[in-house]
Each structure stands twice: as structure tokens, then as C-alpha cells.
Amino acid sequence: MAQLIMADEALAAGTVTRRELVRRFVKVHRNVYTPRGTELTAMDRAIAAWMWSGRTATLAGISAAALFGVRWLPDDSPAELVRTQPRSPSGIVVHSGAVDDDDVCQVRGINCTTPARTAYDLGRYNPFTVGVIRVDSVLAATGVAVDEIAEIARRNPGARNIRRLRRVLAVADGGAESPQETRLRLLLVRAGFPRPVTQIPIRNAYGRVVRRIDLGWPQWKVGIEYDGAQHWTDPAQHAGDIDRLEFFADLGWRMVRVSANHLKFNHEGIIRRAWTALTDAGFAC
């Protein structure tokens, strides 16, 4: 985590001089500084925005998610706050909607929206696909249930973009381990496939889980594996993938491998191969 200081406090305590502040630090927000050359993460930006508010604001959206340890958050997005002054500098977005006391908690001594409220906001404020990715990530990191998010939606039927949120919650799944796995799942659902199960456990003869399949349909023993770039460029990873696929094949699974290039440029190929695997396994439309 980056070093962040309140200039007035640091000067008063004598931990930095005005000369050092000018030469060694750069301003993030009014009265909030970090050493020159620092690359701020989503969490750093969240804490810097909270400090800008005089340590009184409540973190929301991406900023609250960062505090919960949610992965795959953009480091260059503005911090998000509620319960603070509406006028904010560049790099901070203040949401004006009311937040119930029950929807606020503390993490590391910082007020933030609860995991359920955080997912509720992320699902509303982002375009549909990004919203699903963000909600999936919150589900995975915090263990919050979709029903808890839906309950907040039921309490706020007239909230902005509430219809979008409901669409997001209808397909959200905490089993996605990357944004690309979420995109792959959405592609399959949009193409008319039965909703795939995520993180399918494969057990040995003693009932112990020894492997997991990214997503698929256990009843037909068809699995879909998303392979990032390292699966193709790292020889050790590639060799492990060969062993892994042969292991699944020995158990009677039909596996469809999808690369980043497939997901970006060849949706039709993914859909065709998945349909072929399912129909060969006995699935009937």
C-alpha cells in the first residue's frame, strides 16, 4: 500500500518539512500527498479520497470493493464516496443517493458500504457486462449472497438503474475467477445454453476434491476451461494443462478449451464447439 500523508498533520508533527513536501511528494488531493513516482492502486485511491474528506466520508462502489480485497479493479478509476460534501476534485466521485445505516460497516477503521450494498451499487452504476464482472468479484471476495443484494433492491424499487441491477443479479455468480471467465459465461448464456455451473468439483475415489473445472454442465460431463496467456506461453503451465485435460478425459468429461484470442475474436467458434460437445454428450435442445 502506498504511503499517504495529510500535509497539515505531517508538517505539524515535524515528520516532513515544507521543502521536503515540495521536493519529495506530489499532491493527490487537497492536503493529501504521496511520494513522487508512486503508482496508486484502487485501494490507495480509496484511502486518499477518504483522507481528503477529513476521514469522515463512507467509501462506496469500487473504493469499498477495494477495501474488501476484491480483485480485478481498475487502478485508474476515480474513487467513490457517499456521505460527504457533494463538490469533489478530479479523481473522486461523490454519489448523492441515501445510504441506510444498516448498509454501512467498518473495515480497518474506515467506514464503507457493506459487501451487499457495494455490489448493489456496482451492479447499477456500470454497464451490464462490467456490472456482472464487478458483482461476481464482490461475491467471490466476500461471500455475500445474491439474495442479500436483491433485498436491498427490493427496499429501493425506484432507485436509479434498478432494472439493470436486476438483470445483473439474474446471472451473477461468485464462481468466476477472472473477468474473462465472467465474459465467457455470459457469452454462453446469451447463445441459449443452459446456465453453466462454475467451479465444478472433481472428486477422487475417497470423495476428496482433487480438481475443479472452470464452468460447464456436470449432468452431461461437459466442461469449459478458460486459459489465459500463461497457459500457452509457460511450458510448465502448458504441460500441466495437458495432464489436467487427460485426467478429465479419463473420467469421461468432454472439455472445450477457450483462449483469450478465441474470446476476443471467435465467439462463433466457441459456441459451435460447446454445442457439439453438449449434443455429443446427449443434450437435446
* Model pLDDT for residues 176-226, shown as the tens digit of each residue: 999 999 999 999 999 999 999 999 999 988 999 999 999 999 999 999 999
| pLDDT for 105 beyond 60 | yes
Q: What CATH fold (topology level) applies to the domain 179-280?
A: Endonuclease; Chain A (3.40.960)
Q: What is the pLDDT confidence band of residue 284, given thresholds at 50, 70 and 90?
A: confident
Per-residue confidence (pLDDT) for residue 236, from 0 to 100: 62
The DSSP H or E segment spanning 50 is helix 42-52
Q: What is the pLDDT confidence band of residue 243, given thresholds at 50, 70 and 90?
A: confident
Task: Tell me where in the chain the CATH 3.40.960.10 domain(s) lie.
Answer: 179-280
Sequence-distant (6+) residues with CB within 8 A of 183 are 129, 133, 263
Grid cell for residue 78:
476515480
Per-residue confidence (pLDDT) for residue 241, from 0 to 100: 74
- Say which DSSP state 45 is in: H
Please report, rounded to a whole number, the percentage of residues in the chain having pLDDT higher than 90: 88
Reference 49, options 77, 27, 9, 81; nearest CA is 81
Count the neighbouring beta carbons within 10 Å of the beta carbon of residue 138.
26
Lookup result for grid cell 456490472: 131
| pLDDT for 231 beyond 50 | no
Q: What is the pLDDT confidence band of residue 273, given thresholds at 50, 70 and 90?
A: very high
